[in-house]
Structure 1
C-alpha cells in the first residue's frame, strides 16, 4: 500500500513539474536602425506596434536599448508555439493598420536597416516571466554564453544547482533564462541590477565567492564549460512590460 501511495505521489509531482514547465516559443528580435532613426522606431513601437502585436496574439515580454550602442533596439516576444508565431507575423504583416502606420512613419525615410531574430526555449529553472516594474530605475544585462562542444548540459546543471542562487545572494535579479532553438551550445539570460556599476561590483563579489569557486571547479573537472561570454548592459524603454 505504501509503495502504491508513493508511486501516486511521484506521478502527481511529475505532472505538476511538467505543467509548470514554460513551453512557449520565445523570440529575441534585434533592430538596427538607420543613423538617427532610433527615436522614430521607439515612437512607432510605443504608439502602435506593441498594440498591433497584441492584437495578433503576440505577448510583449520586454523592450530595451543598449547603454553603449546607438541605433539599436532589443526586444523579446512570446507565442504559444512556433506555428502560432508564424501565423501571428503573417497576420501582422498584412494588417492594414500596420501598413498605414509603417507608411506614415517612414515619410522621411526607412527606419530599420537590419533585423536579427533568435528563437529560444525557456530553461526548466528560468523564473516565471511576467510584467514587473521596479520602483527604482534598473539596468538590465543580456548575457550570452557559448559553450565548448558538448558542455551545455553541464552548464545548465551548474546554473540550476548553484549559479542562480549565488546571483541572488550577491544582489542580482534573475529575470529569464533560455536556450536557443536548434543550437546545442548557447545559453541566453537576462539579469537586472540597480545600476551598471552595481552589476559589475556584484559580479566581482560573485567571482570571489568561495562557494562559486568550489562549484565552478567541481563542474569543470573534465574541462571548461564556457568558450565565450558576451555581456550587454541595457535600459528598459518607457513602454517595456519589464522595467
Structure 2
C-alpha cells in the first residue's frame, strides 16, 4: 500500500528543518494512566491549552507498509515538552503507522481498516491530557491539567499510551508518533499536507461507493491524479462494477 508514501516523505522533509528530541518510553517511569471518560479538565484546573482558541491544533495519520519509512516504534518531539511549556502554544500530533503487507484488505474493508486505526484517538484519554477533537473542523487541541504536570506528565507518557493503543490493532507493526509545539513551525503548510491525507482516505471511500465514476466531474480528481496507487484502485473498482452490471 503506497497511497500515503509520498505524503509521508513530504512530511518528513517538513520536519527535517527543525530540532527534534527522541523520547525514551522504554522503562516503567514512562507509564501513565488512561482515565477513560473521567478525563474532564475545567479551565480553572488547566495549566494551558495546546492549540487553543485561534492557534493551530493539527492531527494527522498516514499509513504505509514500507519498513524504511517507519522502521520501529518512536516518539519524537519538536519543540518544548509539557513540563517546559508555560502558556498556550500551537500544536500538532502526527501518527505514521506501518501496517502488515496485505493485511488491510481492499475496497470497503480497506477504508474501514484505515478508519479503525484513525479512531484510536477517540478512545484514548491520558490522565490530565484532555483532547478536544473536532473532526468537522480538522482540529485536535489538548487541555493540560496542572495536577498532572505536578505528577510528572510529559509527551513520553502520552505517547506511550498512544503506541499501546495503536498496537492493539493486529494490523499495526510499528508507529512513529510525532508531537510538534514549536512556535515557528510552518503549521499552515503542515495543515495542507495533512488535509491531503484525509482526502486520500475520503477518495478511497468515494471510489468504493461508486458515487461518481466520471473523473472529470469528481472533486477528488486532483488527489487521484497525484497519489500513487489511487488510479489502480479506481480502475479496479470500475472493472468490478462493469463485471457485475
Q: TM-score, normalised by structure 1?
A: 0.28
Return the structure number with greater relative CO, CA threshold 8 A, min gap 6. Answer: 2
> Between Structure 1 and Structure 2, whose CA radius of gyration is higher?
1
More strand by share: 1
